[in-house]
Amino acid sequence: LRSWDYGNLRIDTFVAPMSVLTNALGLLLAVTIAGTGHGVEAVVVAFTYYSSATRIMFEFNQIYRRLESSMTEAAQFTALLLTPATVLDPRSPEPAPARAADVRFEKVTFAHAGSGPLFEGLDLDVPHGAKIGLVGRSGGGKTTLTRLLLRMTDIDAGRILIGGQDISRLRQRDLRGLMAYVPQDPAMFHRTLRENIAFARPEASDAEVRRAAEAAHVTEFADALPDGLDTMVGERGVKLSGGQRQRVALARAILRDAPILLLDEATSALDSESEILVQEALWGLMEGRTALVVAHRLSTVAHMDRLVVIDHGRIVEQGTHQELLACDGAYAKLWQHQSGGFFDDSAAHSPDLR
């Protein structure tokens, strides 16, 4: 597909000079015919043929362009489809748990392909409706933990349970249906903003999509675009900033209306002001749901029911913000760093937490 890209470049580079050249040729042809004294009819006939010939050429060019853009789009999905499935559905799947959404990691052992074990006998208990903040240094295993819960990869030993059911006994689609996931770097499709949001729940009405877009503050920037929510994203449309993509991803999560929320650095690219707004929407969304929220900016998770500090695949501490500050360990150190000038805004917006 690389070579296709190069072909694309070549066509685009030659189209403009080509049209100048064909226009010049047409003119030359007209002058020549007129000069040879064939009369007006000959000039008109020649010109009619000539212009329909060039029109066909340019139509062909447009068709080619459309084809090429569909091909590029299709290539993205083909790449996805060609990725071999590493996780398989069980032969006789169990029905998904009803809305009970407690999460349990039981003695989970996991190693990324080609590296040593990251988690060894990891235990984590998240009661139904609890809001858990996952924090810790980069590379600690926070993202991996969320991906294991989504069963993007299978674990090597132990069990992961939702509503008391082993997730490996569920159908993939049933499992994913239980969760709304906002990844660290959300992917956008080369489609409209509306479609990018709606794919989280294709049967949602336009009004529901609009409401989700409003709650996630997508409309704030979308309404300023010429086509609003119908503006194309990516390639030939609007390129979204990191913060804008995060808002689209949050709108998806809001629309999805799933019992478990997994947010991985979902607001990290937002400026402090937008973060406060989006955070409010998120608190509303978390109401009555189980939430696992990964954040580096501690002020975003400080209010959660429980904070779990992960380092090198181990849970080194857990408790509320106050409890963890009081025990003066890893979390207290992280907090000190962030409120002591490294991340000025985290301290500025949460003076009550000091």
Site residues (CB under 6 A) for ligand ATP?
112, 115, 118, 138-144, 184
Based on CB atoms, which residue is closest to Mg ion, 184 or 350? Answer: 184
Which span sits near Mg ion by CB under 5 A: 143-151, 171-179, 240-248, 343-351? 143-151
Work out whether strand 260-264 and strand 179-182 pair parallel, antiparallel, or are unpaired.
parallel
Query: How many helices and strands in the chain, by DSSP H and E?
Result: 12, 10
Nearer to ligand ATP, 135 or 229 (CB): 135
**Min CB(115)–ligand ATP separation in Å:** 5
- List all residues 6 or more positions away from 72 whose beta carbon is below 8 Å from its beta carbon: 1, 4, 5, 8, 235
Instruction: Report in angstroms how near the CB of residue 144 gets to ligand ATP at its nearest.
Output: 3
284 binds, among Mg ion, ligand ATP, none (CB under 5 to 8 A by kind): none
> What is the spatial distance between Cα 48 and Cα 316, in angstroms, rounded to a whole number?
81
Cα gap 276→301, rounded to integer Å: 12
Q: How far is the CB of 13 from ligand ATP (least distance, A)?
A: 38
DSSP per-residue letters across 89-158: --SSPBPPP-S---EEEEEEEEE-TTS-EEEEEEEEEE-TT-EEEEE-STTSSHHHHHHHHTTSS--SEE
Instruction: Tell me the one-letter amino acid at 222.
Output: A
| Stretch touching Mg ion by CB under 5 A, among 126-134, 140-148, 174-182, 327-335 | 140-148
Minimum CB separation from ligand ATP for residue 81, in Å?
Answer: 20
Minimum separation from the CB atom of position 98 to ligand ATP (A): 30
Report the candidate in 264, 252, 254, 326 with the shortest Cα–Cα distance to residue 301: 264
143 binds Mg ion (CB under 5 A): yes
Pick 40 or 80: Cβ nearer ligand ATP: 80
Q: How far is the CB of 239 from ligand ATP (least distance, A)?
A: 24
Q: Output 165 or 300, the one with its CB closest to Mg ion.
A: 300
Opening angle at CA 252, ends 247 and 257, nearest 5: 130
| Position with the least CB separation from Mg ion | 143
> 289 with 259: CB under 8 angstroms?
yes
**Residues in binding contact with Mg ion, number by CB under 5 A:** 1
- The footprint of Mg ion on residues 296-335 (CB under 5 A) is none
What separation in angstroms does the CA of 68 have from each of 17, 58, 62, 73, 229?
Answer: 20, 15, 10, 9, 25
Nearer to ligand ATP, 191 or 296 (CB): 296
Piece of 57-65, 141-149, 237-245, 329-337 that binds Mg ion (CB under 5 A): 141-149
Instruction: Report the nearest approach of Mg ion to the CB of residue 147 (Å).
Output: 9
Choice between 62 and 138, CB closer to ligand ATP: 138
Closer CB to ligand ATP, 133 or 140, in the complex: 140
Q: Which helix (H) or strand (E) holds 255?
A: helix 242-256
- Structure tokens, 100: 């009970």
Q: Residue 83 binds which entry of ligand ATP, Mg ion, none, with Cβ cut-offs from 5 to 8 Å by kind? A: none
Residue 97, binding choice from Mg ion, ligand ATP, none, Cβ under 5 to 8 Å by partner class? none
Angle at 81 between CA 79 and CA 83, to 5 degrees: 75
According to the binding rule CB under 5 A, does residue 268 interact with Mg ion?
no
CA distance linking residue 192 with residue 319, whole number of Å: 42
**Complex with ligand ATP: residue 10 or 333, whichever CB lies closer:** 333
Which positions ≥6 away from 311 have C-beta within 8 Å? Answer: 136, 137, 140, 330
Rounded to a whole number of angstroms, the minimum distance from the CB of residue 54 to ligand ATP is 53
Q: Which residues of the shown chain bind Mg ion in the complex (CB under 5 A)? A: 143
